Amino acid sequence: MSSTPVPGPLPGTPGKIIAVHLAYESRAAQRGRRPAAPSYFLKPSSSLGASGGTVERPEGTELLGFEGEIALVIGSPTRGVSPAEAWNHVAWVTASNDWGLYDLRANDRGSNVRNKGRDGYTPLGPRLIDARTVDPAALRVRTWLNGELVQEGETVGLIFPFAQIIADLSQHLTLETGDVILTGTPAGASVAVPGDVVEVEVDAPHLAGAPSSGRLTSRVIAGPGGFDPAVGSLPSVDDLQREEAWGSREAAGLPASAINPELRDKLLKAPVAGLSQQLRRRGLDNVSIDGVHATRPGTKLVGVARTLRFVPNREDLFRSHGGGYNAQKRAFDAVREGEVIVIEARGERDCGTLGDVLALRALARGAAGVVTDGGVRDYATVAGIDLPVFSQGPHPAVLGRKHVPWDGDLTIACGGATVQPGDVIVGDDDGVVVIPPAIAEEVADAALAQESEDAWIAQQVAAGHPVHGLFPMNAEWRARYEAATEAGP
């Protein structure tokens, strides 16, 4: 460990700062996804800061997120240790704030290099707690925003205990003396703006004297922007980033779903054929999920996409990823009200991609439906469940015949269409279309207007008029239609 003075309580500069993506049950529930194993990213030592310091939100950005966390400081070289001996390698515990600028997530999401690696984005302190004096399963982290308590989590609520995290990391790399591990944040992390003050404290409330790190204080200030597009990507945000930064759609000032009740009503009335026509008029030709049909004729599906991807079966990969709490089970356990699970099965119809148990789980979670370009097991039973399901049809085989459940919440291909989380999905007897959420209302309005025109045209044809000049309407027929519309019923 270097003897160079660093901000905060550490005696020297850590060789590396390792952060856990998601570790608390409360945060997983808030995000709607629960990882099967811990995953990590690195933060540079240049991001270190001290209590009482400032954190810059660059000009032209809006989503500076704070995350109160417990930081572990490694006390001795750690390589290949077991969970039972892992805590013996921790010297100190302290408070940290894992600041991040969600505006910069787009091109390195997961690595977090730009959005969490900025100078001052890892303040620690103000004091170190001797790890030998505390129980790692009985620590607490709390965060205050402008004096209001907004986060509180105890380590009893961890998905991955500290010992597991240390042991896992040590089987891949050497943790050196002075290295820092940021152990994840509980629910309640949100957004701060210039002028806000955020405080984080770690303590052991059940011990006599309640050992404490003291309050780690950061003040948010406005900083310079000036990002050069010729050098790298510019800051950008969308509603998904706003939801994740603020912690919920409601906190971000967004409707509870990308589909508000009024829009949902419109989409329920609008036929898929009409929506497809309007999308094509706007230059979107490749938005149909081809080859899928509802298990029950007459089914209407409206919801927001939640994605799941299967890869072709490979026996060794199925052994490692197909069993246990795999990506498929996690997706069905995490789906939220109004969401549609859209499954990429590569158009492989000779294998089931869900069955009655998972369909029931989706129904219990309030899902809007399921769309898969693969097959469905227990087809008759699934058809009897009050859940819209669109697929290539029935097949009795289980996943391992053709698929390995791999990952979710990412851009996928389903039935020849690209589907992103948050896209609007609408299905009926004519098929399923994918609508970019930004134009969903516009497309729905246009489709309903066209539907009104088509109904009037059908009346004229039924009355004996030829279709020439009427379908589509020429100027004369258009004038008749507008007059009839103005006259009302």
Describe the chain by its helix, strand, coil percentages, rounded to 5.
30, 30, 45
Q: Where in the chain is the domain with CATH 3.50.30.40?
A: 279-431
pLDDT exceeds 90 at position 39: yes
Q: What is the pLDDT of residues 45-96, one digit of tens each?
A: 999 999 999 999 999 999 999 999 999 999 999 999 999 999 999 999 999 9
Top pLDDT among 226 and 40 is at: 40
Q: What is the pLDDT of residues 304-334, one digit of tens each?
A: 999 999 999 999 999 999 988 899 999 998 8
279-431, CATH topology level = Glucose Oxidase; domain 1 (3.50.30)
Confidence at residue 146, expressed as pLDDT on a 0 to 100 scale: 97
Largest CA-CA distance found in the chain, in angstroms, rounded? 93
User: Does residue 179 contact residue 169 with C-beta atoms inside 8 Å?
Assistant: no
Average confidence (pLDDT) over 464-482 = 86
Beta bridge partners of 57: 222
H or E stretch at 301: strand 301-312
DSSP 376-444: BSSHHHHHTSSS-EEES-B----GGGTEEEEEESS-EEETTEEE-TT-EEEEETTEEEEE-GGGHHHHH
242-246 long-range contacts, Cβ below 8 Å, gap at least 24?
242/63, 242/102, 244/31, 244/102, 245/63, 245/65, 245/102, 245/190, 245/191, 246/63, 246/190, 246/191
Average confidence (pLDDT) over 399-418 = 93
Confidence at residue 479, expressed as pLDDT on a 0 to 100 scale: 86
* Residue numbers belonging to the annotated binding site: 355-358, 377-378
Average pLDDT score, the chain: 92
Q: What is the pLDDT of residues 258-305, one digit of tens each?
A: 688 899 999 999 999 999 999 999 999 999 999 999 999 999 999 999
Percent of the chain with pLDDT over 70: 97
* Residue numbers belonging to the annotated binding site for Mg(2+): 378
Question: What CA–CA distance (Å, rounded) separates 120 from 100?
Answer: 10
Burial of 71 (C-beta count, 10 Å sphere; 0-12/13-18/19+): buried
The one-letter amino acid at 384: G
Closest to 99 measured CA to CA, from 203, 241, 219? 219
Q: What is the pLDDT of residues 185-196, one digit of tens each?
A: 999 999 999 999
Q: Residue 11: is the preceding peptide bond cis (ω within 30°)?
A: no
pLDDT exceeds 80 at position 33: no
Confidence at residue 255, expressed as pLDDT on a 0 to 100 scale: 67
* Residue numbers belonging to the annotated binding site for substrate: 355-358, 377
Confidence at 219, pLDDT banded by 50, 70, 90: very high
Confidence at residue 4, expressed as pLDDT on a 0 to 100 scale: 44
Question: What CA–CA distance (Å, rounded) separates 399 from 350?
Answer: 10
Percent of the chain with pLDDT over 90: 74
Q: Where in the chain is the domain with CATH 3.90.850.10?
A: 17-246
Full-model pTM: 0.65
Helix axes 440-462, 475-487, angle to 10 degrees: 100
Superfamily the domain 17-246 falls into: Fumarylacetoacetase-like, C-terminal domain (3.90.850.10)
pLDDT exceeds 70 at position 365: yes
DSSP 442-465: HHHHHHHHHHHHHHHHHHHHHTT-
Confidence at residue 2, expressed as pLDDT on a 0 to 100 scale: 40
Confidence at residue 3, expressed as pLDDT on a 0 to 100 scale: 40
Top pLDDT among 480 and 2 is at: 480
Highest-confidence segment of 106-120, 136-150, 231-245, 396-410: 136-150
Least confident of 33-42, 92-101, 222-231, 255-264: 255-264
